[in-house]
Amino acid sequence: DILIEQTDPEIFAAIQAENKRQEQHIELIASENYASPAVMAAQGSQLTNKYAEGYPGRRYYGGCEHVDIAEQLAIDRIKTLFGAEAANVQPHCGASANEAVFLAFLKPGDTILGMSLAEGGHLTHGMSLNISGKWFNAVSYGLNDKEEIDYDAMERKAHETKPKLIIAGASAYSLKIDFERFAKVAKDVGAIFMVDIAHYSGLVVAGVYPNPVPFADVVTSTTHKSLRGPRGGIILMKAEHEKAINSAIFPGLQGGPLMHVIAAKAIAFKEAMAPEFKVYQKQVLRNADIIANTLIERGLRIVSGRTESHVMLVDLRAKGITGKEAEAVLGSAHMTINKNAIPNDPEKPMVTSGVRIGTPAMTTRGFKDEEARQTAMLIADVLDNPRDEANLAAVRAKVHALTTRFPVYS
Ligand code: PLP
């Protein structure tokens, strides 16, 4: 810190302010978490200086003997965690992990079938402005009238459109996904089956969410969400796809791997093997369940009626407030969430009628049942009276009282 302060006071000030925000606010963005100090330290290590194009034992640069150890540890650990036959730990992020799968299996113009962004999917699963929607013929499935994945419609569309690739996985879907059913459909139509568990991977490792690895050809994930590692991506795959995926990542899509991040991934995977990680993930689920039920008590609607994971979508229409305004007022009360479209949302994507709430970060700082309930009550207090500055100030003070009791790093 002293070095940054001396070298670049402006960046130092921005980092300090962000540290304060992370300590003071209740972080409820479902895709965020607090990485451990060891994970962060590895990213600030000398490994950032090393070029290592290629894979352990087969590099295009000299001097890779030590980074090889780090990458092999990351590969071995993640394979063990998920029971995977093979793994690639080099994707720079979740999006590039998904792009590597496309590059390995598809040609421009091929048909892919993924979950619609508007109903909970991710933009890399076929959204029109993303490469997945621009370069491929993207067909989508969504939810039925119970706001559960419409497996029948997905199956029908698969038979009608004969996709080369079927994608399961979501960014804003609170229920368990039936990966076995997807796998059967993919087999019936001769598609490659990919699952993107970016959101759920930490839960999967702890055994509290279904593991798609036995059913899928390839499974992609980020490492920085519920898995609580550094920002980055991974790909798990059947051994038969290892060669195609590895050459899609390098030299297909990326140059030198980020060895400091890969070392941090290895550390996070070791942390995820510890018994405490399972205890943590169980509490992530409990906290989400408590928040969902408390918000229902306070007059809000949860999309799909409940959560079976770390995440939920809240329909705000009963309170007469948009997602955009809710994000702003909750932010001013120092609770960080993101606006999110709900199924059949009448508002524009930049406005929305919903917010997405997730519990991985608050649970890392030590929030348990009581604090989860308090957090939900504070959210509802804001939404009941969003334009009253005195109300927002009162909630903010209660948020600070809570977060001061549960420091993240200090
Ligand atoms: N896949 C899913 C399901 C996601 O939710 C996300 C991120 O939100 C990604 C992929 C992309 O990850 P990244 O932001 O690391 O590219």
Task: State CA 170 to chain mean position distance.
Answer: 9
Amino acid identity at 353: S
**347 pLDDT higher than 90:** yes
**Residue 122 beta carbon below 6 angstroms from any ligand 1 atom:** yes
**pLDDT-derived band at 259, boundaries 50, 70, 90:** very high
Amino acid in the structure at residue 114: G
The pLDDT of residue 307 is above 90: yes
Distance CA(10)–CA(239), nearest Å, equals 48
Q: What tens digit of pLDDT does each residue of 368-410 get?
A: 999 999 999 999 999 999 999 999 999 999 999 999 999 999 7
Q: Report the first-to-last Cα separation within the chain, whole angstroms.
A: 14
Q: Are 85 and 237 in contact (CB under 8 A)?
A: yes
311-346 confidence digits (pLDDT tens): 999 999 999 999 999 999 999 999 999 999 999 999
**Inter-residue contact 94 to 167 (CB < 8 Å):** no
Q: Can you tell me the mean pLDDT for 143-155? A: 97
Q: Is 196 a catalytic residue?
A: yes
Q: Which of 118, 174, 124, 123 is nearest to 141 (CA)?
A: 118
Known binding residues for (6S)-5,6,7,8-tetrahydrofolate: 117, 121-123
Which residues make Cβ contacts (< 8 Å) with residue 48, sequence separation at least 6? 258, 259, 260
27 part of the active site: no
Contact call for residues 322 and 331 (beta carbons, < 8 A): no
Q: How far apart are CA 259 and CA 43, in angstroms?
A: 9
The per-residue pLDDT for range 153-198, each reduced to its tens digit, is: 999 999 999 999 999 999 999 999 999 999 999 999 999 999 999 9
Res 2: pLDDT: 86
Mean pLDDT of the chain: 98
**Residue located via tokens 């090889």:** 68
pLDDT in tens, 54-97: 999 999 999 999 999 999 999 999 999 999 999 999 999 999 99
Residue nearest to atom 1 of ligand 1 (CA): 198
The pLDDT, as a whole number, for residue 303 is 97
| CA distances from residue 311 to 241, 280, 287, 357 in whole angstroms, order as listed | 31, 15, 10, 6
What is the mean pLDDT of the segment spanning 24-34? 98
Note if 270 is an active site residue.
no
Residue in 229, 110, 226 with CA at minimum distance from that of residue 167:
110
pLDDT at 1 over 90: no
Q: Which of 99, 196, 217, 325 is catalytic?
A: 196
Q: Indicate which residue of 59, 157, 164, 225 is catalytic.
A: 225
Q: How many Cα atoms sit within 13 Å of 294 on the Cβ side?
A: 20
Q: 95 CB less than 6 Å from ligand 1?
A: yes
Sign of CA dihedral 279, 277, 197, 229: positive
Distance CA(354)–CA(174), nearest Å, equals 14
In the residue annotation, 243 being an active-site residue is answered as no
Q: How far apart are CA 57 and CA 170, in angstroms?
A: 35
Q: Is there an atom of ligand 1 within 6 Å of 310 CB? A: no
Alpha carbons within 13 A on the beta-carbon side of 373: 3
ipTM over 0.95: yes
